[in-house]
Amino acid sequence: MSIDKITTALVSDATVQVDDLPCALMIFSDKGTIRKVNQKLLDLLGYARNDLAEQSIEKIFTLPTRLFYQTHIFPLLKLSTAVEEIFVQLRAKDGTQVPTLLYGNTINNSGDDEYQFIFVSVWQRKKYEEEIIAAREAHEKAVVDNKELREAKEQLELNAELLDRQVQRLRQINVEYESIGKIISHDFQEPIRKIGLSVDILGRKNEPWNKENYLAKIQQSLGRLQALTLCIDQFVSIDTTNETISEFDVADLIHKAVEQAKTETGISNIELSINVNHRIEGYPGLLTELFVEIIKNSITYRKENTVPEISITGQIAQYNHFRFNLNKYKYVDFLRLEIKDNGKGFDNRYKEYIFEMFKRLDFEQDGLGFGLTLVKKIVDKHFGTITASSIPGDGTSLVLTLPVRSNSDGMI
């Protein structure tokens, strides 16, 4: 159909000049170049025909309209071939804004897609809409400005955060309580049973017993009980630490932990790469302990005849600090640490098991299976997360997230 004339179906020989139409009309190419406009459009915007010929359609859009065109109107036009009843502001030649309703569709002009838009000015409608929006904004502002309401809301939000923390803590304590229960009924019972048996035998008269042998067994079991008790004590003392929260440099803390781990393991030849340039708040003493345990693990479970390599990188990422209440979101900065080694690794099936108390995978090495339990406990204390993944023979990767800022009430 030609832009110049519209033939009506009702009156077969009558034609309508598009310039006479009571709406603005614009035809443009797939590339957004204006092909044709009618007189009404020129009048509405104060342009001469030559001003717009072969120009970009965006010339007659205000900046927000251009944005809206790119994000909404163009995709809609492209996918559905027609758009209707869209409110857009046009930009007149003198810079004034012209409120219009836009209708558009796609036409095929000898193989090429073309688009035609009509604009109807809506000065009155705009006035009503502005009134409606102003009324709504006034209402919203009244709600926001209501001091009591605002304070109550802020208090509610704080309480929600506190509640979330407390529920998390409670859940952690429940899990710990359960695992300590299991330890008392199992791990502690075994050496006690052995001692009882030895004492029993030692007490029998006329038995051809080897006294030294049974005393040694008692000694050994007592040693085991002592070690377990020390672990439990260490575990529980994390909750009752006297340490206060402070801000510190994480790389400094890691370097300190590395030295300690070297001393404790007696192995000082390790390849270390630390790429962490962040300061966070937390319990520096506990976090040093955490890194000592992690680095000791990498050293202890190194591959035979290889120098342990450990790389630690830190990045800031935002995570939701609500964990319990699934409908609450507040994204805050966390330090995300990735700790990789070139050790023996383990089967990924055990990636959660390794954090349980006194659970061990490698029986070639001495150990109680307590290090990672302590690590997990310290992470929990900071309301962080820790996950492990590993490829046997390739090494282990730990991802640790710790909040950058602690809450003022000490519940990190």
Partner 1 sequence: MNAEILKRNNVQVYGSGKRTMVFAHGFGCDQKMWRFVWPAFQDEYRIVLFDYVGCGGSDLTSYNAQRYSNLNGFAEDILDVCNALDIQNAVFVGHSVSSIIGVLAAIKQPALFSHLLLVGPSAKYINEPGYVGGFERADIVELLNTMEKNYVGWANFLAPAIMKNNEQPELTEELTASFCAVDPEVARNFAKATFFSDNRADLANISHPTLIMQCTDDLIAPMEVGEYLHKNISNSELRVLAATGHCPHMSAPEETIAVMKDYLAKHVN
Binding residues for partner 1 (CB under 8 A): 30-32, 58, 62-68, 70-72, 74-76, 78-89, 125-126, 129, 132-133, 315-320, 327-331, 336
User: What is the nearest approach in angstroms of partner 1 to the Cβ of residue 399?
Assistant: 9
Residue with tokens 């992470």: 379
User: What is the nearest approach in angstroms of partner 1 to the Cβ of residue 91?
Assistant: 12
φ and ψ at residue 160, rounded to 5 degrees: -65, -40
Residue 30 vs 190, nearer CB to partner 1:
30
User: What is the nearest approach in angstroms of partner 1 to the Cβ of residue 88?
Assistant: 7
The total number of residues written for the chain in this structure: 412
Contacts of 191 (CB under 8 A, 6+ apart): 221, 222, 224, 225, 228
Show the tokens assigned to 259: 């030295």
Say what the alpha-carbon torsion angle 314, 316, 317, 319 is, to the nearest 10 degrees: 100
Residue 70 vs 229, nearer CB to partner 1:
70
Q: Answer for the pair 97, 62: CB distance below 8 angstroms, yes or no.
A: yes
Specify which residues 400 forms β-bridges with: 337, 386
Q: Answer for the pair 98, 45: CB distance below 8 angstroms, yes or no.
A: yes
Q: Answer for the pair 256, 274: CB distance below 8 angstroms, yes or no.
A: no
C-alpha to C-alpha distance for 272 and 340, rounded to whole angstroms? 10
Residue with tokens 């529920």: 167
Residue 78 vs 279, nearer CB to partner 1:
78
User: What is the nearest approach in angstroms of partner 1 to the Cβ of residue 374?
Assistant: 26
User: What is the nearest approach in angstroms of partner 1 to the Cβ of residue 1?
Assistant: 15
Residue 224 vs 336, nearer CB to partner 1:
336
111: left (phi over 0), alpha (psi -120 to 50) or beta: left
Residue 155 vs 213, nearer CB to partner 1:
155
User: What is the nearest approach in angstroms of partner 1 to the Cβ of residue 338?
Assistant: 8
C-alpha to C-alpha distance for 311 and 343, rounded to whole angstroms? 12
Residue 49 vs 78, nearer CB to partner 1:
78
Residue 125 vs 217, nearer CB to partner 1:
125
Q: Answer for the pair 102, 121: CB distance below 8 angstroms, yes or no.
A: no
User: What is the nearest approach in angstroms of partner 1 to the Cβ of residue 297?
Assistant: 22
